Amino acid sequence: MFVADSANAILMSLNDKSPNVRAKAAWSLGNLTDTLIVNMEMIGQSFQEEFSDMLLLEMLKSATEASKDKDKVKSNAVRALGNLLHFLQPYHILKPRFAESIESAIRALISTVLGESTMKVKWNACYALGNVFKNTALPLGKAVWTADAYHALTTAVKSCKNFKVRIKSATALSTPSRREQYGTIEQYSEIWNSLVTALEKSEETEDFLEFKYCASLRAQICHALIHMLCMASLGDLPCIRKTVQQKGSVIRHYLLQYVKSGVAENATNTDRENVFQRATDHIRSIQEDPLGRKVIAENYSDYELLIFRPAFIQTIYNILE
């Protein structure tokens, strides 16, 4: 199999004494794993099942080790890690021999986002974590590494001096496709609050060249906030409600700007309005029982904390008019 032969040759080169050879090998590994994802999406599970488990595990281990190398190697090593973790199937993840390597790989990505690498490396690491989150077979939301992964991304989206890295971290935070992947109510709240803080700070930079990315950053953060609203549970509403009380004017301003503008990639105004409408409909629906009555605020001392006031819901709908 050509792919397997290529992979074995690349893995040998990753251990070469020459930094330049290792850098080229990491670049090749990144490209090879890109093709794995393309084939997985085009051919499906049959392609994945044909790929050797042992080779896949060796690629995962080698890419993890390469992520500790110099930045020229690390940049493509983390890209490869994201692809490999996305490629894994449920039966891989359930095998004990994969468990340790999977956690080590994810923690390598987390360390890279939080570390002192170049912005290109950090961008690739954020992109890779977004790739990891696409694999619904991974126990995102339950695994011990969940909190650390989200902490790395929320730290980047709030404070990284490079706006492209902030944009990519916001993109990763909007990747989970199910509420449970965001973890506990506390974890959801931390992510939500971090995105709101990032929105507030979206024009704060010491580098004038970063200003040209402000609009794209705000658009991506707004997209992530709306995505999270679409998945919110009843227990998440107190946090959302509190944030709206404290920072409602900022949120409203930028959401209005997002829905009505054409900044974000591949999204028309109508697309955004539809998603926004779906988010507000979802928030309204989880506050009502099947008969349309407001839910009873059990275990809450303040019923008003549990739900959005009608005025806020109306404000959201007004944005769509």
Indicate the pTM of the whole model: 0.87
Q: Does residue 294 sit in helix, strand or coil?
A: strand
Residue 296 maps to a domain: no
**Helix, strand, coil percent content, the chain, rounded in steps of 5:** 75, 0, 25
112: domain CATH number?
1.25.10.10
Residue 130 maps to a domain: yes
Residue 254 maps to a domain: no
User: By residue range, what is the domain housing residue 30?
Assistant: 1-243
State the pLDDT at residue 316.
52
Report the run of H or E that residue 70 belongs to, with start and end.
none
State the pLDDT at residue 290.
54
Give dist(CA 29, CA 34) in Å, integer.
Answer: 8
Q: Does residue 288 sit in helix, strand or coil?
A: strand
Residue 263 maps to a domain: no
Q: Does residue 74 sit in helix, strand or coil?
A: helix
3-state SS of 242-256 is HHHHHHHHHHHHHHH
Residue 269 maps to a domain: no
State the pLDDT at residue 133.
98
- Written as six digits, the tokens of 265 are 């990639």
Number of domains making up the chain: 1
Give dist(CA 98, CA 92) in Å, integer.
Answer: 7
b/e string for 285-295 if b means 16 or more Cβ within 10 A?
Answer: eebeeeeeeee
Residue 251 neighbours by CB under 8 Å, 6+ apart: 196, 199, 225, 243, 244
State the pLDDT at residue 270.
73
Residue 256 maps to a domain: no
State the pLDDT at residue 244.
85
Residue 119 maps to a domain: yes
- Is the separation of the CB atoms in 219 and 258 below 8 Å? yes
Block means of pLDDT (10 residues each) for the chain, length 321 residues?
A: 83 95 97 91 73 92 97 97 96 93 98 95 98 97 97 97 96 97 98 96 76 88 95 93 86 86 60 84 77 47 38 50 43
Residue 86 maps to a domain: yes
Q: How many CA atoms lie within 13 A of 162 on its CB side?
A: 15
State the pLDDT at residue 262.
56
